[in-house]
Structure 1
Amino acid sequence: MDETIVKVRKSVRYVRSSSQRQNTFKLCAEKEKVEFKGQLCLDVPTRWNYTYIMLGKAEKYQKAFKRLEEEDPNYLMTIREEEKEDGSDIDEVAWGMGDVDWEKMRIFSKFLKIFYDATLRFSSANYVTSNSFFLELMSIHDTIDLEYEKDSYLLKKMADYMKTKFEKYWGNFDNMNHLLYVGLVLDPRYKMRYLEYCFGTLYENQKAVDMAKRIKVVLVDLYNAYAQNQVGSSSASAAAQA
């Protein structure tokens, strides 16, 4: 994907580098009757979520970029010069973004969307997010596994690496905060039954059963702690009234 992403990044940077180029690109979009009206976004290479946004917006302007290659001779020429300055050995005839590049963008954007959406939901400040944590975790787990099992030269290798990372951070139950599971159980839409189902898809049978038992122990301990606190508060209140 790196080669395609670099092409998109250089193309977006070219368009955004001056108001004249932006106007030319806008005319290309109008001639191709592109309905999307959003601004092109230049990513931050170290932030994957910005790369996702860049690819998603650029993909909607595919026809406009194709037209820009025809109507602006400086477009590909400028990028080729940048490549030469970077020391890259490129084919000057075939450098522009082809159908394969656009297809890669669509596949990659679709794959990253699940992570982008999860990030937005986790970052919310206007509603509780603890009860959605495990649902998002399961969705990410299933997405990675699906791509890992596919015979896809584009995503299989990346999914393999991500699967290893996932197991490192989330594969060991002992390292996880049990309260994140409690948040799901206390959501009346899911309760304990759904958590047990999720454990069954993540782990072997006996381990799934053991994990469910441990969460039940945590729930009982929490209840007892709150009950004891309530009794203490009631006693103190009665003593004060006496």
Structure 2
Amino acid sequence: MIIVHEYSFRMVEHKWFNVLMRWMNSNYEWIGRKTIKNECMQIFESEKDQLKKSLREADSISLTTDLWTSNQNIQYMCLVAHYTDVNWILQCRVLNFVELDPPHTGLVIANAVFDCLLEWKIEDKIMSITLDNASNNDGAITNLKAKLLARKNTKFDPSYFHVRCAAHIVNLVVNDGLQPIETLISNLRNTMKYFKKSPTRIYKFVEVCNNYSVKDGKGLSLDVKTRWSSTYKMLESCIDYKEAFGNYVEVDQKYQWKPTPSEWKLFGKLKPILGQMAGATIVFSGTAYPDANVFYPYIVNVKIVLREAQKAGDPYLMSMADAMLDKFDKYWEKNNLMVIATILDPRFKMRYITWCFGEIYPPYRCMKELDDINAELEDLYMKYSKLVDNGKGSAQSSCSSRDTCTSLASVVPTRFQSFLQSNSTEVSKSQLLIYLEEANVSIDDKTFDLLNYWKVNSNAHRFPLLAAMAKSFLAVPASSVSSEPTFSTGGRILDDYRSSLKPATVQALVCASSWIRASQNDNNTPILVEQDEDDDVESVDFPNSIVGSN
């Protein structure tokens, strides 16, 4: 309870806590904060041993990491692991929450991450790492990649290692799109604050709506500056009242933030673009971490609306779309990890990628991109085929020490074993062809469970090689947002009354909280959870009595 709810160790010394304990059990004996701290540290070590066993059974692990500064002015690095366990359940665990001494160069970050991997003994299981677009992170990727390549692990593929945080990319792109309407945003933000200070002004605004036949009842909202998606919600809630804002000046001489018609017109043009990006941001910043296949359709939708804006004929909109698309492509490097994950969803397969490329690329480039994806997919299957064959080979070598195996090996020519290996490669390749040629599963099937699909097909030996790929690719997160809840936990643990906690104690409490919470949800299939709209906007409601009478 103390670990999960971030209670103070001193809680067990509180007078009325002890009154409650003795009321429930007259034999309860008083314990001090040092005793309960030691017990919490024991739980941390116990949970850590359990997690090590789970990680040992994982075939592949993807990471996210980010930095956070506490109220002690201490910098912490959070390292989070994402993987599919032996039961085909997607897992997310905080591995480390360690103090990171400045300067936070790429080398320092890389060394800290690699030390954590060595501590957990998972350095040969790493598939990818997702970070934001800070320049020091690029240096960290270079150093980490070199360390992992030096281990000569055949499973490690450097081409899929670096995943840029999609939420951060969208945020950078949107900032360019919001700059031209910054005055409109500022005017509406000041208007919302002006209305909230006085109910009388809200009454006057509703009267203006009635006089000019503007439908009311929906209400307005005030954004949070640090979340651009809430700014979009504010703009969207206000656009239905643009005539009322213009006429409100007549009844309130103090009102001075009237948006101009040209600003409203510009927002109307930007609304489809910002709407798609807002939807993508909600998914990328969700409170649950779904399979990697769900992300690519949102990326495609963003590119489609930008491509349509390029063809709109409006010079300003075209130039803005060009700039936004250039920045989007700049940060979204040539990493087809999300494309592969989407192909491994039987609801999409290669047919969806073919359609997407046709929408976002001109014909000549579309064919080239499709050829590249097909070649990459083929190479990937060949690589996994060799990995599977090597696994079988190790099992065969252990069996050959027995008398029966030795006697068979002396009879059967070695050329036959080579023949079997060549045929097994053909079977592995045919798995890809069979899978892609089969009909797509209906997208409308709400009961479809992607991980269960691959679990069944791996056990049935239909697509064991494809299932091995799916287990790795579908666990890759598209954003580094999984570190954010950990920072919130750290902020609650290190409040103004507990700022003297040592970094080792903070790590134990933060990590143990993650492990205990996650272990209670192991049987729940990860789902896409959108943010609650009330979390990032402040409602400016109309009076119910007036709305009802109207």
| Counterparts of 1:157 and 1:17, CA distance in 2 | 40
Q: Does structure 1 retain, via aligned residues, the 8 Å contact 2:309–2:317?
A: yes
Q: Provide the residue aligned with 2:339 in structure 1.
A: 181
TM-score normalised by L of structure 1? 0.71
Matched, 1:41 2:203: no
Unaligned runs of 5+ in 1: 80-95, 237-242
Deviation per CA, 1:81-126: give whole Å up to 9, x if none: xxxxxxxxxxxxxxx3343332223222222001011222334456
What is the correspondence of 1:78-97 to structure 2 with a 5 Å cutoff? 79=257, 96-97=258-259
Question: For residues 29-54 of structure 1, what are the alpha-carbon distances to aligned partners after superposition, in whole Å with 9 as ceiling and x for unaligned?
Answer: 34445434344222344532122111
SS of 1:42's equivalent?
strand
Q: Which residue of 2 aligns with 1:149?
A: 311
SS at match of 1:41: strand
Correspondence for 1:26: 206
Distance, in Å, in 2 between the alignment partners of 1:217 and 1:130 is: 21
- Counterpart residue number, 1:119: 281
1:231 and 1:17 map into 2 onto residues whose CA distance is 75
Q: Is the 8 A contact 1:199 1:212 kept in 2?
A: no
When residues 49 and 232 of structure 1 are mapped into structure 2, their CA distance, relative to the original with a 3 A threshold, is farther
Show the counterpart of 1:59: 239
Distance 1:47 1:127 in 2: 20
Are the counterparts in 2 of residues 122 and 129 from structure 1 also a CA contact under 8 Å?
A: no
Structure 1 residues 68 and 213, CA, compared in 2 at 3 Å: closer, same or farther?
A: same
User: Aligned runs of 1:90-239 on 2, under 5 Å?
Assistant: 96-125=258-287, 128-170=290-332, 172-173=333-334, 176=335, 178-199=336-357, 201-202=360-361, 203=365, 205-222=367-384
| Deviation sequence 1:170-227 (CA, Å, 0-9, x none) | 2x42xx2x44223211222221233245446544534531232112332454566578
Say if 1:31 and 1:126 are closer, same or farther in 2 by CA, change over 3 A. farther
| SS, match of residue 35 in structure 1 | coil
- Equivalents in 1 of 2:385, 2:286: separation in Å? 28
Give me the whole-angstrom Cα distance separating, in 1, the residues matched to 2:393 and 2:343.
25
Relative distance call for 1:72 and 1:215 in structure 2 (3 A) is same
CA distance 1:205–1:27, shift in 2 (3 Å): same
Distance in structure 2 (CA, Å) of the matches to 1:155 and 1:220: 45
What's the secondary structure of 2:324's corresponding residue? helix
Aligned to 1:91: none
Structure 2 CA distance for aligned equivalents of residues 106 and 227 of structure 1:
57
Range moving further from structure 2, 111-120 or 14-23: 14-23
Between Structure 1 and Structure 2, the one with more helix by share is 1
Q: 1:11 to 1:227 in 2, by over 3 A?
A: farther
Secondary structure at 2:222 match in 1: coil
Matches of 2:280 and 2:370 in 1, distance apart? 25
Equivalent residue, structure 2, for 1:15: 195
* Cα contact 2:212–2:244 (8 A) shared by 1: yes
Larger Rg: 2
Give, in whole Å, the separation in 1 of the partners of 2:209 and 2:350: 52
Contact 1:144–1:163 (8 Å) recurs in 2: yes
Higher relative contact order (CA 8 A, sep 6+): 2
Compared with structure 1, are the counterparts of its residues 231 and 39 closer, same or farther at alpha carbon in structure 2 (3 Å cutoff)? farther
Q: CA deviation at 1:7?
A: 2.6
SS in 2 for 1:74: coil
Q: 1:50 and 2:230 equivalent?
A: yes
- What TM-score, normalized by structure 2, do the two folds share? 0.34
SS in structure 2 opposite 1:150?
coil
RMSD over equivalenced CA pairs, Å: 3.3
Does 1:68 pair with 2:226?
no
Letter in 2 for 1:5: I
Q: Per-residue deviation at 1:67?
A: 3.4
CA distance in 1, matches of 2:191, 2:323: 29
Provide, for residues 142-176 of structure 1, a one-character-per-residue CA deviation record: whole Å limited to 9, x for no partner: 21122123331442232122111112122x42xx2
Counterpart of 2:466? none
8 Å CA contact retained: 2:229, 2:278: yes
Query: Which amino acid in 2 is paired with 1:132?
Result: V
Whether contact under 8 Å (2:310, 2:321) holds in the other structure is yes
User: In 1, are the aligned partners of 2:206 and 2:216 still within 8 Å (CA)?
Assistant: no
Distance (Å, rounded) in 1 between the aligned partners of 2:357 and 2:242: 43
Give the % identical residues. Answer: 26
Q: Between Structure 1 and Structure 2, how many residues are aligned?
A: 213
- SS at 1:151 equivalent: coil
